[in-house]
Amino acid sequence: MATAHEIEHEAIPHGQQAPSCTMVIFGAAGDLTKRLLIPALYNLARTELLPADFALIGVDRLEMSDTAFRQHLDNAVRAFASDKHYSQALDESHWAELLKRISYLQGDFGDALAYGRLREKLAEVRKEQVSSDNVVFYLAVGARFFGGIVDHLGQAGLVTETQAGWRRVVVEKPFGHSVDSARALNAQLRRSLDERQIYRMDHFLGKETVQNIMLMRFANAIFEPLWNRDHIDHIQITVAETVGVESRAGFYEGTGAMRDMVPNHVFQLLALTAMEPPTSFAADAVRSEKTKVLNAVHRVNAASDSVRGQYTVGQRDGKLLRGYREEDGVAATSTTETYVAMKLGVDNWRWSGVPFYLRTGKAMAKRSSEIVIQFKRPPLSLFRDTATEALTPNALVLKLQPDEGAALMFGAKIPGPTISIGQVHMDFHYKDYFQNAPSTGYETLIYDCMIGDATLFQRADNVIAGWQIVQPILDYWANDPAAPLTQYAAGSEGSPEASVLLQSEGRSWKSLL
C-alpha cells in the first residue's frame, strides 16, 4: 500500500465548495463542540461551502442515541443563533439538512475496540451518505488524549491514506506543556501521521483581522517600506481578557497565562507582524517565514525582561470581582500566573534594535487584542518652542478584537495663530466597509482543513520555536524562589511592574481604556 509520503491529493481552490468528506469529532459531547464547532459547520453549510455529501460522526464516552445527540446539538445551535452578536435568524432548511447527517458513536478514547466500531461506522457512512474516503478527525479533547487517540487511529489503520481518500487530524491547543513535551508529542503523532496530515489548531488565526495583518502589510505599498528598524521605534502586542478563570480552574492551575496564550496566540501575532514577505501565500512559504522570525528571537533575560502577575480582588463598573485565589478550584497558595508581560528582540536585519513588548492577562480592564506599531519621532529642531512630550509619535494600531479594524495616529496643526500640534486619529472599522458574516472563528480553519490548505495551522518547527523562547522563563519561575509573582487588581490594566519594561527607555504601554 502507498504511504502518506507517496500520495498527493489535489487541493481545492478557496471559495469553492469543500470536497466530499466525513468529520469525526472526538469529544463530541463537550463544550467546544456545541459552542463552536457545530455552529461553525452550520455557517459553512449556510454559505454552501460545506460538502453536499458531508457526514459527521460524534465520538464520546457518554451513552447517547443519534436522536439524543442531535437534540443536544439542536438546542446549542438555537441558543447560538439567538445570541445578540449573531445577526441572522437560523436558516432552518440548511440546519435541518446538516442535522440529519449527524450520528453518534459511544466509545472510550483508550479502548482499542472503539476504533474497530469507528471503522465500521465510517464504512456505513461511506455507503449511505458520502461519496469519498476523505476523513477529518477532530480532537476536541483534553491535551492528555491527543497522542493516545492518534496511536489508536494508526493501529486501526484509520489514518492510512490511499488514492481514494485523504486522512487529516486536527489537534487543538495546547500542543505540549513544555519544549520537551511538545517534541515528544510531535514524535508520537509522526509514528502514525505524515506532517502534512497534522493540522495544529489555533482558532485565533481564524479571525479575519488576524489574517488581514499579512494583507495590510504586503498589499499596501505605503506600509511595507516603513516596516523596519529605520522607521519603527517599537511594537506592542496586547491580548487582554476581561474574564477571569471562571470554571476552568482545573485546567488553568496547571497551565497559567504563559502556556495558555504566549507560545500560540501571542507568538502567532508576533510572527505575522515581523515576518519577511513570503514567496507566495502557499502554506509552507508562509509558515517558513513565521518560523524564521521565532528562531531569530534572542534569549529573553527572564529576571529583567519578563513579568508575571496574578489578579486579586478588584472591581469593574462598580461590580466587585474575586481574586484568582478566591476562584472555585484554585489553591489558596497558588502561584499560577494570570498575566504575563515580556520584552524581546528579533535578531535579524529588519528588526535589529527594535524592542517588541508583549502582554496578555485575565480579569483586565477591557477586552482588547491589538498590535501597536509605534514609529520613531521626527527630528525636533523645528519644534524648539513646543513641548517635546506633546509631539506624540505616529502609530498604526491593528485592532483584532472586539472592534476589528485599524487606526492611524499622526500630528496635525491645531487651528489658530500659534504652532500647536494635535493628535489626529484615522479609524477604519471592518464593519463599516465589509459585511461581517456570522462567525465563530472556526469556519475558515475547518474549511481550510477540508480543502487541504494548512497556511493558518502551525507546523511542528513553528511550535517548537515558540516553546524554546518561553521555556527558560518558565524554568526561572519554577526553580528560582526569588522569582517575583506580582499582583494586580481585577479590572485593572494588569501588573504595574510591567510598565518598568518600557519606562527605562522612555516608553509606555498604550492604555486599554
Give the 3-state secondary structure of residue 506.
coil
Residue 241 has, within 13 A of its CA and on its CB side, a CA count of: 15
The three cell numbers locating residue 361: 492577562
When computed from its CA atoms, the radius of gyration of the chain, rounded to whole angstroms, is 24
What are residue 321's DSSP bridge partners? 314
What are residue 423's DSSP bridge partners? 411
What's the per-residue H, E or C state across 260-307? HHHHHHHHHHHHHHHCCCCCCCCHHHHHHHHHHHHHHECCCCHHHHEE
Other C-beta atoms closer than 10 Å to the C-beta of 103 total 17
**CB 341 within 8 Å of CB 239:** no
- One-character DSSP codes across 140-165: -S-GGGHHHHHHHHHHTTTT--BTTB
Residue for grid cell 527630528: 379
Kindly name the residue from 203, 265, 298, 429 that is annotated as catalytic.
Answer: 265
Give the 3-state secondary structure of residue 363.
coil
Give dist(CA 268, CA 462) in Å, integer: 9
Terminal alpha carbon distance of the chain:
60
**CB 387 within 8 Å of CB 191:** no
**CB 59 within 8 Å of CB 117:** no
Residue for grid cell 489553591: 331
Give dist(CA 107, CA 310) in Å, integer: 39
Give dist(CA 267, CA 182) in Å, integer: 16
Which DSSP symbol is given to 277?
A: P
Show the beta-strand stretches assigned E in 348-477: 355-361, 368-375, 395-401, 405-413, 421-429
Distances in Å between the Cα of 468 and the Cα atoms of 178, 340, 342, 457, 475 are: 8, 17, 15, 19, 11
Residue for grid cell 513544555: 178
Provide the residue count of the chain: 513
Give dist(CA 80, CA 74) in Å, integer: 10
Q: Residue ranges of the alpha helices (H) in 105-229?
A: 112-128, 146-155, 179-190, 208-218
Give dist(CA 286, CA 281) in Å, integer: 6
What are residue 228's DSSP bridge partners? none
Q: Is 94 a catalytic residue?
A: no
Question: Catalytic amino acids?
Answer: 265
